[in-house]
């Protein structure tokens, strides 16, 4: 998750199994609609870098570079 999510920018991160931290994250979203809206929009925007066409293009470029060597 830390590779994909930047805490408080495009999502919220908390330690695995830490229920209190999860509750705090959920409260921060529920208590601040503006914050929830900002991280939601940023998350949607950032997710485009993981689109299958993006990933396939990166792999194709990598394979072409390796093949050229």
pLDDT digits (tens, 9 = 90+) for 34-54: 999 999 999 999 988 888 888
Distance from C-alpha of 31 to C-alpha of 33, rounded to nearest angstrom? 6
Pairwise pLDDT comparison (3 vs 36), residue with the higher score: 36
Whole-model pTM: value is: 0.71
């Amino acid at each position: 998750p830390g590779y994909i999510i930047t805490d408080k920018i495009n999502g919220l991160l908390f330690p695995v199994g830490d229920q209190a931290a999860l509750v705090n994250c959920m409260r921060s979203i529920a208590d601040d609609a503006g914050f929830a809206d900002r991280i939601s929009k940023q998350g949607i925007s950032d997710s485009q870098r993981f689109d299958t066409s993006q990933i396939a293009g990166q792999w194709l470029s990598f394979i072409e570079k390796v093949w050229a060597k």
